[in-house]
Structure 1
Amino acid sequence: MEYKYKSYAKINSYLNVMSKLDNGYHEILTHFQIIDLYDEVSFKESDSLLIASNEETIKDNNSITKTIKWFNEKYGVNQKFEAKIKKSIPIGAGLGGGSSNAAIALRFLAEFHNIQIKDIDNTEIALALGADVPVFVHKKSCYASGIGDILGKSSFNSSEYLLICPQIFVSTQNLYKSTYLKFQNIENKEINSFLSVLIEENKEFKDFYDLLRSQLPNKTFEKLKLSGTGSTLFLQNPSEGEKEIINEKIGKNFRIFLTKGLEY
């Protein structure tokens, strides 16, 4: 039997880094909005652990393999599956594709073994599998704090989001280590702490950002926000004119997605 799932992406409406914790992680304040861009993931039982994907770079190093191995160790099982991942969410783009895939695998494994997903601690999941994984496990758009493991009240909208993805892979780990990262004293829902860091640290992203500045009307450019640690920039509720300008001036060189917020 084959089990099939949609593995949805997210955007961060804002992301504030507040401090560095003693365990090396960082305290954040953010809002996750789940959007209707998704990967397709399927599982079926197998004699060995196999991963197939249309994206060659993740076949040997991916969050699903990591999740299955962690689950097997945690629960003392030796479960093997053939997993197929049809990627549509850009990799290393701040859209949570790997974290979403991990959450799908964890939900599937819990259901397969009759384990209540709510009984698995969010902090344990975040530390073992990734800080963004809990929000996908619980399938809700919401505010979050801690390292991303403390999920607050649900808060969603059905806005349109126009994503501009430059296919610049960004290492989250490296950005958190950057000397350019400045901690916030108070919550600011208008900023992403990593935008200035990316501009300083990553020349390829800076060139991309400067190109958008030169090609887009100033009013449109100033509305762009960074999702996660990048490199995706997004525009919430773009006008028809803004969609046309972005597709005409930017769409030939970068991937553009018109997505919608999911109402959960």
Structure 2
Amino acid sequence: MLNNVLEVLSPAKLNLFLHVTGQRSNGYHELQTVFQLLNWGDTLRFELSKTPGIRLAGNLKGIDQSENLIIRAANLLALPDHIGVSITVNKIIPMGGGLGGGSSNAAVTMLALNKLLTLGYSIDEMALMGASLGADVPVFVRGHSAWGEGIGEELCPIDLPNRWFVIIYPNCHVSTQEIFTAAELTRNTPPITVSAFFDGAVHNDLQAVVEARYEPVRAAIEWLSARGSAMMTGSGACVFAAYDERESAERVADEAEGCFQAFVAEGINRYSIE
């Protein structure tokens, strides 16, 4: 890091399972999940400028800057009026894929600006502020793979085995709101324990709803299920399977070439901005 420049990874995540255990009176769903951070994602470059304000550039398409989570996250920090920052995004996390790209970008923006400008916010303060942008933001602020409950904001750090993941993007955008409001969604899965998760007694309650409505997701799950234990992440559209060896994951990803957009990512337990 130079004195006025910071370039960082904005990591993606997987939900290694997702159980809907209830629904609150305000419509929000009670969940259980495990967030697996990945050593793969977008790259964000922050550079201080003499021109006041936040400027956003990069390969962002179809996003109004005023609604972009990066801009909204920066504004949460109440930057001094004289501060100018240029933020350049190299985005490779698919939008609408269930990989948390927007939430990660927001969290990393808060972490990076806090460090670059020596603002003095604590992790707890930024996690609380970030939750107003989305339930997935706090896990990226805290930078640790985690067991999640509540609406996903109640986090307990968890250490996961070192594995490699094949992730397939079925080239379709799944509406999270559509899936969570679907009448056929299961909303009463009994809560489980962490030990039950490690025993493999898990699934994604949203997956059947998405498969029935989005044929490309169903096709990707069927293809990957023949080569591993496949599951959809979040509300979709991406699906994944875990492998103990990088070489095994890369063979499956190579086999997918021509049929699907696939990539390999390493699971990590911790992430921080150096």
Q: How does 1:119-130 map to 2 (within 5 A)?
A: 119-120=124-125, 122-126=127-131, 128-130=132-134
1:197 Cα offset (Å): 1.3
TM-score when normalising by structure 2: 0.82
- Using the alignment, how far apart are the partners of 2:168 and 2:216 within structure 1? 14
1:125 Cα offset (Å): 2.6
In structure 1, what residue type is equivalent to 2:122? Answer: I
1:31 has 2:43 as partner:
no
In structure 2, what residue type is equivalent to 1:255? Answer: Q
Q: Partner of 1:171 in structure 2?
A: 175
Q: How does 1:94-105 map to 2 (within 5 A)?
A: 94-105=98-109
Q: Partner of 1:194 in structure 2?
A: 206
The number of residue pairs the alignment matches comes to 253
TM-score when normalising by structure 1: 0.85
Q: Structure 1 residues 35, 242: closer, same or farther in 2, change over 3 A?
A: closer
Match of 1:173, SS state, is: helix
Q: Where in structure 2 are there 5+ consecutive unaligned residues?
A: none
Check the 8 A contact 1:20/1:27 in 2, yes or no.
yes
1:40 Cα offset (Å): 0.6
Q: Partner of 1:109 in structure 2?
A: 113
Match of 1:129, SS state, is: coil
- Using the alignment, how far apart are the partners of 1:119 and 1:134 within structure 2? 9
Q: Partner of 1:69 in structure 2?
A: 75
- Using the alignment, how far apart are the partners of 1:149 and 1:122 within structure 2? 9
Q: Which residue of 120, 140, 153 maps to 2:144?
A: 140
Q: Partner of 1:209 in structure 2?
A: 218
Q: Where in structure 1 are there 5+ consecutive unaligned residues?
A: none
In structure 1, what residue type is equivalent to 2:178? Answer: N
Check the 8 A contact 2:170/2:216 in 1, yes or no.
no
Calculate percent identity across the aligned residue pairs: 28
Check the 8 A contact 2:127/2:142 in 1, yes or no.
no
- Using the alignment, how far apart are the partners of 1:211 and 1:166 within structure 2? 6
Give the superposed CA RMSD: 2.5
1:220 Cα offset (Å): 2.8
- Using the alignment, how far apart are the partners of 1:21 and 1:143 within structure 2? 20
Q: Partner of 1:45 in structure 2?
A: 48
Q: Structure 1 residues 247, 209: closer, same or farther in 2, change over 3 A?
A: farther
C-alpha offsets along residues 29-78 of structure 1, whole Å, 9 cap, x if unaligned?
A: 00011111121101123433211112323463421011122332xxx744
Q: Partner of 2:165 in structure 1?
A: 161
Higher helix proportion = 1
1:156 Cα offset (Å): 2.2
